[in-house]
Structures are given as structure tokens and as C-alpha cells.
């Protein structure tokens, strides 16, 4: 009989390999996400829209006032030049007399959208909720979609 040490079992050895399967799965999912979203990000239209604060209350029109805006940004009240402060006062008086009054807006095609939105905001802050855009009848016919029926 020999006396000696009993050998212990070696046990579990640490893994020296890295399991890359989960890493590959995650990378493939990210690749698919980027493939899908890349065209959507490229076709996005960035605009800086004008900001106005206006009430959204609507009433039926019984009367109207006409406001014009020429290409240089000059404002007209019934064909007479007017400044923005006086326009605001007149619109407030009109809204106090009859809140159902419609503002008929005649704007030149070259007027910047921001100026037009500012004028609409002034009218709505004054209390006029009904705003109509006046256009040239011939221009409206030229812009009619093909196949759409003519309206009387």
C-alpha cells in the first residue's frame, strides 16, 4: 500500500472562449433598424413655421371686412393703407360689434407666409374667428385637379 495524496478532481475550468452569437444577433437587429430608418431620415422636410396664439372659437358670419396685403407687406383696410396697430384696433372694434364678422383676406402671391400668419394671428387675437382667403377665379380654374368636376 502506498500512502499518497488523494487527488482532487480538477473541477470546472474557466471558459477562455467568448460566445459571440448574442453579439451577432444584436448587431443584425441594429443593421435592420438602420436600413429601415435611413430613407425616412433622408426625406424629412425641415421647416421653421411661424408661431401665433389664437382662439379657436368659430361662429357663423353675418358681415365681412376686407383686408389686403400687397407684395411689399403694406396692409390695406378697404383699399386704404393702414398700419398694424390701427388694424388691430379696428379689428377689435369690429369683433366687439359683431363677433361673427368674417375677415376677407386679399394677399398678393409674393407675400411671405410669416407675414400672412402674423396678420391672421392679429385678427384671431382681436376676436375674429372666421377668415376667408380671396383668390382670382381664373387662377383657381388653372389649379383645378384633372378629373375634378367644375363647381358652380
Complete domains list, the chain, with CATH? 64-136 (3.30.420.270)
**pTM of the predicted protein model:** 0.50
Mean pLDDT of 9-36: 86
CA-based max dimension of the chain:
126
pLDDT at 62: 60
Q: Dig out the grid coordinates for 115 from the structure.
A: 407675414
Per DSSP, the residues of 47-90 read: ---------------S-EEEEEE-TT--EEETTEEE-HHHHHHH
Report whether pLDDT(66) > 90: no
Mean pLDDT of 147-151: 49
* Higher-scoring residue by pLDDT: 127, 45: 127
Convert the pLDDT of each residue in 4-22 to its tens digit. 666 776 677 777 788 889 9
Alpha-carbon span 27 to 121, nearest angstrom: 50
pLDDT at 4: 61
- Three-state DSSP class for residue 104: strand
Mean pLDDT of 117-138: 82
Q: What sign results for the dihedral spanned by CA atoms 133, 79, 52, 102? A: negative
Report whether pLDDT(43) > 60: no
pLDDT at 106: 83
* Higher-scoring residue by pLDDT: 32, 69: 32
Q: Dig out the grid coordinates for 86 from the structure.
A: 390701427
Report whether pLDDT(89) > 90: yes
Amino acid at each position: 500500500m502506498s500512502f499518497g495524496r488523494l487527488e482532487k478532481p480538477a473541477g470546472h475550468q474557466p471558459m477562455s472562449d467568448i460566445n459571440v452569437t448574442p453579439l451577432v444577433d444584436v448587431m443584425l437587429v441594429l443593421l435592420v433598424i438602420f436600413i429601415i430608418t435611413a430613407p425616412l431620415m433622408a426625406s424629412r422636410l425641415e421647416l421653421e413655421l411661424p408661431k401665433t396664439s389664437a382662439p379657436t372659437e368659430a361662429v357663423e358670419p353675418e358681415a365681412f371686412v376686407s383686408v389686403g396685403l400687397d407684395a411689399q407687406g403694406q396692409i390695406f383696410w378697404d383699399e386704404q393703407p393702414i398700419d398694424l396697430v390701427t388694424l388691430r384696433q379696428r379689428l377689435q372694434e369690429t369683433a366687439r360689434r359683431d363677433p361673427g364678422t368674417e375677415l376677407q383676406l386679399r394677399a398678393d402671391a409674393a407675400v411671405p407666409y410669416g407675414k400672412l400668419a402674423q396678420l391672421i394671428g392679429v385678427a384671431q387675437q382681436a376676436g375674429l374667428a372666421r377668415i376667408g382667403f380671396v383668390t382670382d377665379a381664373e387662377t383657381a380654374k388653372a389649379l383645378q385637379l384633372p378629373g375634378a368636376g367644375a363647381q358652380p
